[in-house]
């Protein structure tokens, strides 16, 4: 049975490669910016986004197993999305500096022809040391974290 990763995330691709299972990548075209997080719990919100990504591809490839995912960052009960620009990325990292925040990852595994839909999330607490302004600027300029919730990828540090 064909497995499709509904993501263009390099990190998710790395994780799939570790499993050493053949798969294809077909990124979802869901526009996450049109889905509001207002009034939604972080767990529900990341599961909703992951499920929407999987559902989109599951309808196009009904006999394949589709794996969709989404990650969000939460600090002080506020969901932090992906930064739109350098200023937002720097602001996000300054807000996370010296604090503990939560990272939620939602995963949705779907196969339309087999009537399979399994969606779940996991929460991890992450604590940052105090970050120097020059280190934040270096990170943002070097790693361009505009496709990462909270403006960072833990694997980059």
What are the residue numbers of the active site? 70
Strands 78-80 and 3-5: unpaired
CA pair distance 109, 52, nearest whole angstrom: 11
CA distances from 116 to 22, 59, 120, 123 (A): 20, 12, 13, 23
- At residue 16, the 3 state secondary structure works out as helix
- Give percent helix, percent strand, percent coil of the chain, each to the nearest 5: 40, 25, 30
Please give the structure tokens belonging to residue 133: 């302004």
């Amino acid at each position: 049975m064909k497995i499709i990763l509904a993501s263009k995330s390099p990190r998710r691709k790395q994780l799939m490669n570790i499993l050493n299972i053949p798969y294809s990548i077909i990124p979802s075209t869901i526009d996450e910016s049109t889905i509001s997080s207002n009034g939604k719990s972080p767990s529900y919100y990341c599961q909703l986004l992951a499920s929407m990504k999987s559902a989109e591809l599951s309808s196009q490839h009904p006999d394949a197993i589709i794996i969709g995912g989404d990650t969000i960052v939460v600090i002080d009960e506020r969901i932090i999305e992906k930064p739109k620009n350098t200023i937002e990325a720097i602001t996000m990292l300054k807000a996370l500096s010296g604090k503990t925040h939560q990272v939620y990852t939602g995963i949705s595994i779907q196969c339309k022809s087999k009537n399979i839909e399994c969606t779940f999330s996991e929460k991890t607490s992450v604590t940052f040391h105090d970050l120097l302004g020059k280190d934040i600027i270096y990170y943002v300029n070097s790693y361009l974290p505009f496709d990462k919730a909270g403006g960072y990828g833990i694997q980059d540090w």
